[in-house]
């Protein structure tokens, strides 16, 4: 049967050194997955396991796109993150098999309306208005695991206007990539096209109109996102 109107465009990401696109299914994000960031947000990383929230796939914007300063906020934060892209789905995936599900990796920024997120936390309400707003998910091209190998370490950093603000290493992840995939697959049926933003190291902070965010992960290139 025909649709009553044209279906929305399939969200997708570019793949480095390829003329094919990666079609995006869901966007999962891990909260507080670096100990130093958990501490800066006022939590004890030894007592709190990481947790998950989602962004909508149509909030992704590519490297070089402009991030429009969103409404209803005066405190928009950057969170540089390693993004894992899956090409195989499943549920209850073992830690040992989890890396078989990984297609590749990318550099992402989990943009956050921190003031709205803070209000929602206080009231025990969901985080969508702080996390899943329009264009809240900058993400660079995906680097295929067949080229990079399995990522276990490497510098992750973000500068604002050429000033370093976040500088960590993905070997500091509290839950590493296979553990994150395994745990998440116990809560959701993972599918080809799923992305996982794996959490951010310390140093998160606010941006304003006119700033330029510039970040990278060793081996996965860099992204530049101006704030307009
Ligand atoms: Mn985050």
pLDDT in tens, 120-170: 999 999 999 999 999 999 999 999 999 999 999 999 999 999 999 999 999
Which residues are CB-neighbours of 75 under 8 A, at least 6 positions away? 113, 114, 115, 206
User: How far is the centre of ligand 1, averaged over its atoms, from the C-alpha of 130 (Å)?
Assistant: 11
At 34 the pLDDT is: 93
- What whole-number distance in Å separates Cα of residue 156 and Cα of residue 169? 5
At 162 the pLDDT is: 96
Residue with tokens 């990401």: 13
At 175 the pLDDT is: 93
Instruction: Quickly list DSSP for 47-73.
Output: T---EEEEE-GGGEEETT--BPPPSS-
Strands 60-62 and 137-139 turn out to be parallel
Parse the chain into domains and list their residue ranges. 13-226
User: How far is the centre of ligand 1, averaged over its atoms, from the C-alpha of 173 (Å)?
Assistant: 12
Which residues are CB-neighbours of 32 under 8 A, at least 6 positions away? 38, 41, 43, 45, 48, 50, 51, 174, 199
At 47 the pLDDT is: 73
User: How far is the centre of ligand 1, averaged over its atoms, from the C-alpha of 159 (Å)?
Assistant: 16
Residue with tokens 């800066």: 40
User: How far is the centre of ligand 1, averaged over its atoms, from the C-alpha of 228 (Å)?
Assistant: 21
Q: Which two tokens stand for residue 157?
A: 């950093």
At 142 the pLDDT is: 98
At 180 the pLDDT is: 96
At 81 the pLDDT is: 98
Q: Phi first, then psi: what are they for 180, rounded to 5°?
A: -65, -45
At 144 the pLDDT is: 98
User: How far is the centre of ligand 1, averaged over its atoms, from the C-alpha of 111 (Å)?
Assistant: 8
Task: State the pTM of this model.
Answer: 0.97
- What whole-number distance in Å separates Cα of residue 53 and Cα of residue 31? 7
Fold of 13-226: Fumarylacetoacetate hydrolase; domain 2 (3.90.850)
At 43 the pLDDT is: 87
At 168 the pLDDT is: 97
User: How far is the centre of ligand 1, averaged over its atoms, from the C-alpha of 137 (Å)?
Assistant: 10
- What whole-number distance in Å separates Cα of residue 211 and Cα of residue 120? 27
Ranges of residues in the chain with a pLDDT under 70 are: none
């Amino acid at each position: 049967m025909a649709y009553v109107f044209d279906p929305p465009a399939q969200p997708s990401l570019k793949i480095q050194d390829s003329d094919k696109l990666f079609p995006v299914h869901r966007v999962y994000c891990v909260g507080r997955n670096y100990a130093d960031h958990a501490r800066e947000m006022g939590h004890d990383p030894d007592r709190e396991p990481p947790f998950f929230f989602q962004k909508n796939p149509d909030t992704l914007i590519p490297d070089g796109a402009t991030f429009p300063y969103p409404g209803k906020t005066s405190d928009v934060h950057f969170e540089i993150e390693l993004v894992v892209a899956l090409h195989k789905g499943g549920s209850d995936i073992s830690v040992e098999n989890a890396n078989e599900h990984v297609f590749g990796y990318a550099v992402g920024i989990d943009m956050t309306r921190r003031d709205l997120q803070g209000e929602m936390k206080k009231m025990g309400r969901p985080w969508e208005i702080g996390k899943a707003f329009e264009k809240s998910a900058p993400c660079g091209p995906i680097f295929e695991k067949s080229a990079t190998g399995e990522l276990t370490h490497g510098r992750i950093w973000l500068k604002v206007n050429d000033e370093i603000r976040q500088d960590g290493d993905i070997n500091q992840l509290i839950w590493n990539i296979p553990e994150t995939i395994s745990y998440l697959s116990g809560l959701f049926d993972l599918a080809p096209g799923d992305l996982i933003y794996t959490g951010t190291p310390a140093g998160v902070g606010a941006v304003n109109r006119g700033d330029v965010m510039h970040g990278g992960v060793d081996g996965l290139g860099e992204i530049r996102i101006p704030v307009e």
